[in-house]
Amino acid sequence: MKPASSVDVQNGQPAAADAKTVTQYVTVYTFYVYDHDQGKTVIYPRMATPAAIAKMRGKMNEETAWVVDASALDVEGFLSR
């Protein structure tokens, strides 16, 4: 079995014209971060991937998982509005 992101290539070209487009999905979550201005923990207003949440040192709320099309994410791993 191939991963969802793989595509068959023959001689540097996509396999067949009738080949199906592969859609890649990712899971995004809401998360908590510390707001220094307010002096308390707040829910960040955008959903993000676990990697993006880790970069912000946030705490992921696993109960809020959404599976979305990977093209809906921005470069940093946040769900676009």
Q: What is the pLDDT of residue 27?
A: 97
Q: Which amino acid is at 72?
A: A
Tokens representing 20 are: 């199906």
Query: How many structural domains does the chain have?
Result: 1
Q: Is the dihedral angle over the CA atoms 63, 59, 29, 20 positive or is it negative?
A: negative
Q: Look up residue 48 and give its two tokens.
A: 């993000």
CB 48 within 8 A of CB 28: yes
For residue 81, the enclosing domain spans: 23-81
pLDDT digits (tens, 9 = 90+) for 46-69: 999 999 999 999 999 999 999 999
Does 12 reside within a domain?
no
Q: Which two tokens stand for residue 16?
A: 């067949």
What pLDDT is stored for residue 12 in this prediction?
Answer: 55
**pLDDT digit string (tens) for 5-19?**
444 445 555 555 556
β-bridge pairing 25-35 and 13-14 = unpaired
Q: What is the pTM of this model?
A: 0.70
Is residue 8 domain-resident? no
Instruction: Give per-residue pLDDT as tens, 18-32.
Output: 567 788 999 999 999
Is position 3 within any domain? no
What is d(CA 37, CA 58) in angstroms, rounded to the nearest whole number? Answer: 16
